[in-house]
Amino acid sequence: MLAKSLSNYLDGQHIPYTTISHQPTYTAQEIAANTHISGKDLAKTVMIKLDGKMVMAVVPAAYNVNFHLLKEVTGATKIELAREDEFMDLFPDFEVGAMPPFGNLYGLDVYVAESLAEDEVIAFNAGTHTDLIKMAFGTFARLVKPKILRFSTRH
Protein backbone atom coordinates (compact mmCIF):
# COMPACT_ATOMS: atom_id res chain seq x y z
CA MET A 1 0.00 0.00 0.00
CA LEU A 2 1.26 3.43 -0.99
CA ALA A 3 2.66 5.43 1.95
CA LYS A 4 -0.14 7.72 3.17
CA SER A 5 2.05 10.82 3.54
CA LEU A 6 3.21 10.52 -0.06
CA SER A 7 -0.24 9.90 -1.52
CA ASN A 8 -1.62 12.83 0.52
CA TYR A 9 1.13 15.09 -0.80
CA LEU A 10 0.72 14.07 -4.46
CA ASP A 11 -3.09 14.14 -4.31
CA GLY A 12 -3.00 17.51 -2.55
CA GLN A 13 -0.86 18.87 -5.40
CA HIS A 14 -3.26 17.32 -7.98
CA ILE A 15 -0.39 15.35 -9.49
CA PRO A 16 -1.18 12.64 -12.04
CA TYR A 17 0.57 9.37 -11.18
CA THR A 18 0.06 5.64 -11.42
CA THR A 19 0.72 3.08 -8.72
CA ILE A 20 2.11 -0.35 -9.45
CA SER A 21 1.95 -3.16 -6.90
CA HIS A 22 4.48 -5.99 -7.01
CA GLN A 23 5.77 -8.88 -4.95
CA PRO A 24 7.96 -7.86 -1.99
CA THR A 25 11.30 -6.98 -3.54
CA TYR A 26 14.35 -5.29 -2.02
CA THR A 27 16.75 -4.34 -4.80
CA ALA A 28 16.12 -1.95 -7.64
CA GLN A 29 17.18 -4.48 -10.26
CA GLU A 30 14.74 -7.09 -8.87
CA ILE A 31 11.94 -4.52 -8.84
CA ALA A 32 12.68 -3.61 -12.46
CA ALA A 33 12.60 -7.27 -13.47
CA ASN A 34 9.41 -8.06 -11.51
CA THR A 35 7.51 -5.04 -12.83
CA HIS A 36 8.88 -5.19 -16.40
CA ILE A 37 10.19 -1.64 -16.11
CA SER A 38 13.52 -0.84 -17.72
CA GLY A 39 16.44 -0.47 -15.31
CA LYS A 40 16.98 2.91 -16.96
CA ASP A 41 13.46 4.13 -16.10
CA LEU A 42 13.31 2.88 -12.50
CA ALA A 43 14.82 5.37 -10.07
CA LYS A 44 16.60 4.20 -6.93
CA THR A 45 17.28 6.46 -3.98
CA VAL A 46 20.70 6.24 -2.35
CA MET A 47 21.32 8.01 0.95
CA ILE A 48 24.68 9.76 1.05
CA LYS A 49 26.50 12.11 3.38
CA LEU A 50 28.21 15.04 1.69
CA ASP A 51 30.51 16.81 4.13
CA GLY A 52 28.45 15.23 6.92
CA LYS A 53 25.10 16.44 5.53
CA MET A 54 22.51 13.80 4.59
CA VAL A 55 21.33 14.01 0.94
CA MET A 56 19.47 11.83 -1.56
CA ALA A 57 21.19 10.70 -4.74
CA VAL A 58 18.77 9.34 -7.33
CA VAL A 59 20.00 7.18 -10.19
CA PRO A 60 18.50 4.67 -12.62
CA ALA A 61 18.34 1.10 -11.22
CA ALA A 62 20.85 -0.05 -13.85
CA TYR A 63 23.39 2.55 -12.67
CA ASN A 64 25.54 3.18 -9.62
CA VAL A 65 26.42 6.41 -7.88
CA ASN A 66 29.98 7.29 -8.86
CA PHE A 67 31.23 8.74 -5.58
CA HIS A 68 34.25 10.39 -7.19
CA LEU A 69 32.06 12.18 -9.75
CA LEU A 70 29.44 13.21 -7.17
CA LYS A 71 32.13 14.62 -4.90
CA GLU A 72 33.62 16.52 -7.84
CA VAL A 73 30.36 18.00 -9.21
CA THR A 74 29.10 19.04 -5.76
CA GLY A 75 32.42 20.44 -4.55
CA ALA A 76 32.21 18.30 -1.41
CA THR A 77 35.41 17.49 0.45
CA LYS A 78 34.07 14.29 2.01
CA ILE A 79 31.50 11.82 0.68
CA GLU A 80 30.28 8.56 2.14
CA LEU A 81 27.41 6.14 1.85
CA ALA A 82 25.01 6.63 4.77
CA ARG A 83 24.23 3.67 7.01
CA GLU A 84 20.57 2.72 7.50
CA ASP A 85 20.73 3.55 11.21
CA GLU A 86 21.79 7.10 10.28
CA PHE A 87 18.68 7.87 8.23
CA MET A 88 15.89 5.46 9.16
CA ASP A 89 14.43 7.88 11.72
CA LEU A 90 14.20 10.62 9.07
CA PHE A 91 11.47 8.67 7.26
CA PRO A 92 9.16 7.17 9.90
CA ASP A 93 6.34 6.73 7.38
CA PHE A 94 8.43 4.74 4.87
CA GLU A 95 9.97 1.28 5.00
CA VAL A 96 13.75 1.47 5.27
CA GLY A 97 15.24 1.18 1.80
CA ALA A 98 11.98 2.07 0.06
CA MET A 99 12.14 5.86 0.37
CA PRO A 100 10.75 7.72 -2.61
CA PRO A 101 13.06 10.43 -3.99
CA PHE A 102 11.14 13.28 -2.32
CA GLY A 103 13.88 14.55 0.00
CA ASN A 104 12.41 18.03 -0.36
CA LEU A 105 9.59 16.93 1.98
CA TYR A 106 12.21 16.22 4.66
CA GLY A 107 14.54 19.18 4.17
CA LEU A 108 17.08 17.13 2.20
CA ASP A 109 18.87 18.12 -0.98
CA VAL A 110 18.12 15.79 -3.87
CA TYR A 111 20.68 15.08 -6.59
CA VAL A 112 19.37 13.37 -9.73
CA ALA A 113 21.67 11.74 -12.28
CA GLU A 114 21.54 13.26 -15.75
CA SER A 115 20.95 9.77 -17.13
CA LEU A 116 17.61 9.60 -15.27
CA ALA A 117 16.59 13.12 -16.26
CA GLU A 118 16.63 11.99 -19.92
CA ASP A 119 13.54 9.84 -19.28
CA GLU A 120 10.04 11.09 -20.01
CA VAL A 121 8.51 8.88 -17.32
CA ILE A 122 10.14 7.44 -14.22
CA ALA A 123 9.05 4.95 -11.56
CA PHE A 124 10.25 4.81 -7.97
CA ASN A 125 9.53 3.21 -4.60
CA ALA A 126 6.36 4.52 -3.00
CA GLY A 127 7.52 4.09 0.57
CA THR A 128 7.05 0.31 0.67
CA HIS A 129 8.79 -2.74 -0.76
CA THR A 130 5.61 -3.66 -2.67
CA ASP A 131 4.55 -0.44 -4.42
CA LEU A 132 5.89 1.89 -7.08
CA ILE A 133 4.78 5.26 -8.35
CA LYS A 134 5.09 6.10 -12.02
CA MET A 135 4.97 9.75 -13.14
CA ALA A 136 6.35 12.16 -15.70
CA PHE A 137 9.93 13.14 -14.93
CA GLY A 138 9.04 16.79 -15.59
CA THR A 139 6.35 16.65 -12.89
CA PHE A 140 8.75 15.01 -10.44
CA ALA A 141 11.40 17.67 -11.17
CA ARG A 142 8.88 20.49 -10.72
CA LEU A 143 7.86 19.14 -7.29
CA VAL A 144 11.28 18.17 -5.94
CA LYS A 145 13.51 20.77 -7.65
CA PRO A 146 16.51 18.42 -7.67
CA LYS A 147 20.01 19.32 -8.73
CA ILE A 148 20.53 17.43 -11.99
CA LEU A 149 24.18 16.46 -12.34
CA ARG A 150 26.40 13.88 -14.05
CA PHE A 151 27.42 11.40 -11.34
CA SER A 152 26.22 7.92 -12.31
CA THR A 153 27.85 5.06 -14.14
CA ARG A 154 26.22 2.00 -15.63
CA HIS A 155 26.68 -1.32 -13.75
What are the extents of the domains in the chain? 4-154
3 band by pLDDT with thresholds 50, 70 and 90: confident
The DSSP code sequence of 39-50 is TTTEEEEEEEEE
Quote the mean pLDDT of the chain: 94
Backbone angles phi, psi at 24, to 5 degrees: -55, 125
Residue range 4-154, CATH number: 3.90.960.10
Those residues whose C-beta lies under 8 Å from the C-beta of residue 145, and which sit 6 or more positions away, are 104, 110
pLDDT for position 16: 96
What is the arithmetic mean of pLDDT over 125-137?
95
Q: Select from 109, 104, 117 the least CA-distant residue to 150.
A: 117
Is a pLDDT exceeding 90 seen at residue 5?
Answer: no
Is a pLDDT exceeding 70 seen at residue 136?
Answer: yes
